[in-house]
Structure 1
Amino acid sequence: MTCIARTLLVAAFATGALCNTFDASAALPLRSVGVTARVPNTETARVGGVFYTARFRIGYYGGPLLLSNSEDGSGPTIVDDFVTISVTHPDGGVAVFTHDYSNGCTFMAPLPSQDISSYFQPGTNRVVVTLSDACGGWIGSDAIWLVTSN
């Protein structure tokens, strides 16, 4: 699948087009995986919908796995409005992490670096990260990384 430039992605979201911007079919040896670079805040008249999707495989072998805005795992993340991380385990089971940064469309708040290792199982996990809007007005995101200390 071809990677679409973020400026085109934002324009496509504003017009209602669905976009996939990252697809890796081979399992990545995990130290740190850049899920997305920063998606600049962009005004939109559309309310709701996915504005970024990444699909990839991760070879996970235990230990903390941090959701962060930095490659070293130390930074908080923020997305206008939701992040959803769907993980399909080697045995076919599925676990889903979701966070609402908008607090029910009341105020935006960053999420400190989070250990999401409980959503993964040892072996090759298939991961789908979705960034979506719920409140309208704006879309955007900090960079998002998955980082392990192994």
Structure 2
Amino acid sequence: MNIHLTKFIPVHTDLLLPTLLAHEQLCRFFNASFVIERAENAEEIDGGAGCLRKVTTHRNSFIEEIIKADLTGIQYKIVGKGPLKNHQGDIFFNSTKEGTVIDYHIRGEVDGWLPTFLVKMVIKKDIAQALDKLAIHFHSVS
């Protein structure tokens, strides 16, 4: 299963990145709660590579690990059991004069009895709503 969404966010990456790495505040945008289980690796930016966060959404909990985080984007994966096997999320930042275009990619395999199309529809809807909320947040602060 592959999901790809694109959204323009009216802010530059130097403000966008720390907002997306403030894990425990991501509930402002995502229909989920995030709790840090382990801090980032030494010499990484706050919330960056090595950080483990427990995500609870739709009555499911799972652990995500931040693999990479810098001004070009964020890469993360589910560690252990989760709604998707071999899950990886790649969030790419493409800077423009007016802000940042986010290219959000998710890939993985449905792990369970739910139909793939249904899982894909729910994830895509949740991510699209989160990106919309993120754009509104930065539009209102600019």
TM-score (norm 1): 0.27
Of Structure 1 and Structure 2, the greater helix share is in 2
Which is strand-richer, 1 or 2? 1
Higher RCO (Cα < 8 Å, 6 or more apart): 1
